[in-house]
Amino acid sequence: MDKGKIALVTGASKGIGAAIARELAADGFHIWLNYRSDHSAAETVFKDIETAGGSCTLLPFDVADGEATANVLNPLLEEQTPAVLINNAGFARDGILALMSHSDWNDVMGVHLGGFFNVTRLVVARMLKKRYGRIVNIVSTSGETGMAGQVNYSAAKAGLIGATRSLAAEVGRRKVLVNAVSPGFIATEMTEDLPSEQILPMIPLGRIGEPEEVSGLVSFLCSERAGYITGQVFAVNGGAHI
């Protein structure tokens, strides 16, 4: 496979990120698969991609750590420039604001917004020189509507939506397109313990979404068919927020 066609996917060892990595690999991209610490899950995705005829490089680092991010990415970026960047790394640490610790606030911001900054500033600089790129930020319905008990997560995702729009305006003339995909309730580790009897009535389609229903849209946005789309937020939420 031509490893010149690269997609960097952060937080791709499981859930939505893993589905995106698999789908983009099937589209012909060599995957730079980032994850923080779950080596076993990352190896599983790696093997799935290789077994299906794709190719993948595992990149373990914490996107919230700017120095670690630069140490891993800069040597690679000296040789190759990804055509696609998917900012997917993230996690939730829920709780009401009045009782929220500084670490619960800072850690969520550090991964979602700090991680976006640490990774994107390095990659987009190379994309601008190439005059080509696709950046897709994975946000959340919580960042569009707000969600009780998720002030930190909602704020981080709303910030990422703002960053998507501003960066799209900055880099469009160099043919770098920036969009966001906003999943609702998707069957991942983040939702498996949520009470379905409370969630399903909120969703007009009456079911939880699948990671592949998110990755399919990401695949389209990374394709040439999406060449006139930038600065947009696309919801995949079963109608939970319209």
The answer to whether the CB of 155 falls within 8 A of the CB of 112 is no
Return the H-helix or E-strand segment holding 117: helix 115-130
Q: For residue 235, report the phi and psi dihedrals to the nearest 5 degrees.
A: -90, 140
Give dist(CA 234, CA 217) in Å, integer: 8
- Say whether 228 is catalytic: no
- Nearest residue to 66 (alpha-carbon basis) of 106, 111, 128: 111
Return the H-helix or E-strand segment holding 176: strand 176-183
Catalytic residue from among 35, 132, 153, 228: 153
CA torsion through residues 95, 100, 105, 111, sign: negative
| Residue 29 DSSP symbol | P
> Tokens 């309730």 — which residue?
185
| Residue 65 DSSP symbol | -
Exposure of 89 by Cβ count < 10 A (0-12 exposed, 13-18 middle, 19+ buried)? buried
Residues 6+ away with beta carbon under 8 Å from 47: none
Could you give the residue numbers annotated as active site?
153
